[in-house]
Chains A and B, each alone.
Chain A
Amino acid sequence: MAAPDPAIAVRGLTKRFGPICAVDDLTFEVERGAIFGLVGPDGAGKTAVIRMLAGVMRPDAGRISVDGVDVLAAAETAKRHLSYMPQRFGLYDDLSVDENIRFYADLFEVPRALRERRTGPLLEASNMTAFRTRLAGQLSGGMRQKLGLVCALVHTPQILLLDEPTTGVDPVSRRDFWRILFDLRETGVTIFISTAYLDEAERCTRLGLLHEGRLRHCDTPQALKARMPGTLVAISSTAARAVRDAVAGLPGVSSVLMVGDGVHVVVDDRDRRLPELRAALEAKRVAYDAIAVATPTVEDLFVGLLGSRGDGA
């Protein structure tokens, strides 16, 4: 069901690095105004996909169109429609916040008045107004990422490509960052983001799960969760490990996951297994606060759909 005018359309995208096929025949679409999240264990694949979308790396096969422009045939035109934030900080440490913004505004030929109108509020939202003259190399990690976002937005792109933009960033800056992204959505900008933070993945309108170079699943988070086999039972307890030891290996239990506040267990038949779980916990005298069916999180999705194939493989 192809959207009439997708912001991003990818067909058969492939990229090899030596013997390894990092991106293997990807096909997907991103509709306008969506937040598309690319998640997956393999770092190289996600970054390669975004680099190809941004036109800075050539695919070995496949086609990409961004805002209707064929990236392979007309990369330079496509670049006018998008903004790219690479995983590694891409701005100039020896230039100030203002100088960096002005440089990128000039590269996109943003009229000066417009540049000032846009920069002010963006810096305000990032809590960086007091740091305009500071050299980028002297900013904290979180502020550097926010600066990267401001520079990416100064020319009002239709499509934003973000490669793990908040990895390692302090929580306060992460919130500022997402506040700006949320505001953007109101303006219809399409956001393509790869992330290692699964709670960020929850916020996306669609998720692509990249595993061993292939796009194993691609749908809305809700649909993906519904697609998961079995039922998820959440057991909240402070003795998570004891719970885990008690229920692992019970019949009908296909996976046991330790999470923040307890354990997530996937069972085949809730009616049968729920009492069995309770009984097992009581038999081992493991204390727990609650046990109930729950909605899977993206983390559960990850394990449930991608399977624990001895991870990282």
Chain B
Amino acid sequence: MRVRRLAAMARKEALQIWRDPRSLLIALLMPFMQLVLLGYGVSLDIKHVPVCTFDREASQNSQDLLKHFQASDYFTIAAVIGNYGALTGAIDRGVCRLAIVIPPDFTQRLSTTGGAVVQGIVDGTDTNTANIATGYAQAVVARYAAGARLEASARQGAIATIQPVAMQSRVWFNEDLESRNFIIPGVIAMVMALVGAELTSLTIAREWERGTMELLISTPVTPMEVMLGKLAPYFAIGLIDAALCLAFGVFWFGVPFRGTLATLFLATALFLVVVLGIGYLISVRVKSQVGAAQIGLLVTILPTTLLSGYLFPIDQMPVPVQAVTYLMFARYYVTALKALFLKGAGIVDLAAPLAAMALYAAAIAFLAARAFHKSLD
């Protein structure tokens, strides 16, 4: 291996990246766009669910209950309905996701031991939201019920009141339960995959298509020098992008970062080796730029988005699919990232995912180094 030749390849590749507006766009603008889009656009929290109310009794008690809904952050009263027909229409049109119907005998039933029943009608087309909204609604009603009971027993002069048991929960690590806090770290994985796939997968294919490869392979340059020289600039771009995402996430979005930069660098470097290696392999095998780009997309970005645990929790997936995710290299990186950001995990804590990534990196590097042959056929 001659350093001079390697440096020449790296310098040439860097110049070409710099002069190609499309590469620069992907390398610099895409990460930024991903961060903004996903940071602001995606929120997996449920807040301000629109609610319609149908108060068939219109008493002080029913209004009291409805006020509890109004006061809650999780709900917004979207409409006050007067009949079932309008209610069905409101849900159909999407004016509200949840309808609360208070029966005309609410107050009377409240005083009897049967207890009053409040009807909640939920738009089930989005089961996630439906489940969570139902849960919140039940909590609101339960709070009202507890309050009403206390009041009632106070009026009756009960001496020994049994306080209902309430659960107080504390959330570790992501106290605000801000989904953004675990999405942003995942975006870093996306961006690395993008750089690895889209940028790198073109590099060898482009030389074949433009006709420069034929001349290159007639020189003494070795396949290893070609590979390392070509990938070096992309590696640098990847690290820079990671740093940019980190800075943006922390200082703009306020995502906490509790780990060390060194650990982040190690995990990112390993992941980069894997995606760059995959991109390179694709570029060597698929000699057309268009084909290489498409396959790059399939092999890196899709699995990273769907199966790495970045947007969709792995433990919610069907068991066979969970097994498949163990093969997804992105899974380990996303796990490591989330732990780094939110738990402040160190290298020891991350030994398992880091080891898995190191294994992947070694395998890919081995395959990539052997893939490229200096021959036209």
Contacts and interface: CB of A to CB of B under 8 A. Distances in A.
A106 B8 contact: yes
A106 B42 CA distance: 49
Given A76-B220, A106-B5, A95 B16 contact: yes
For chain A, give the interface size range: 20 to 34
Contacts, number: 75
Contacts of A90: 211-212, 214-216
B25 to A, nearest CB: 16
A70 to B, nearest CB: 16
Interface string B117-128: 000000000000
Interface string A36-55: 00000000000000010011
Contact of B214 (A76, A80, A82, A86): A86
Interface string B186-230: 000000000000000000000000111011111111100000000
A57 B376 contact: yes
A78 to B, nearest CB: 9
Interface string A66-77: 000000000110
Given A88-B211, A90-B211, A109-B4, A79 B376 contact: no
Nearest to A107: B219
A162 B303 CA distance: 47
A107 B221 contact: yes
A302 interface: no
A108 B2 CA distance: 10
Contacts of A5: none
Interface residues of B, number: 27
A51 B214 CA distance: 9
B340 to A, nearest CB: 38
Q: Which of B214, B219, B222 has the most CB of A within 10 A?
A: B219
Contacts of B20: 94
A159 to B, nearest CB: 12
B8 A56 contact: no
Interface of A: 51, 54-58, 75-76, 79-80, 82-86, 88-95, 99, 102-104, 106-109
Which 7 A-B pairs give the minimum distances between C-beta atoms? A90-B215, A106-B8, A84-B218, A88-B211, A57-B376, A107-B219, A54-B218
Interface of B: 2, 4-5, 7-8, 11-12, 15-16, 19-20, 210-212, 214-222, 374-377
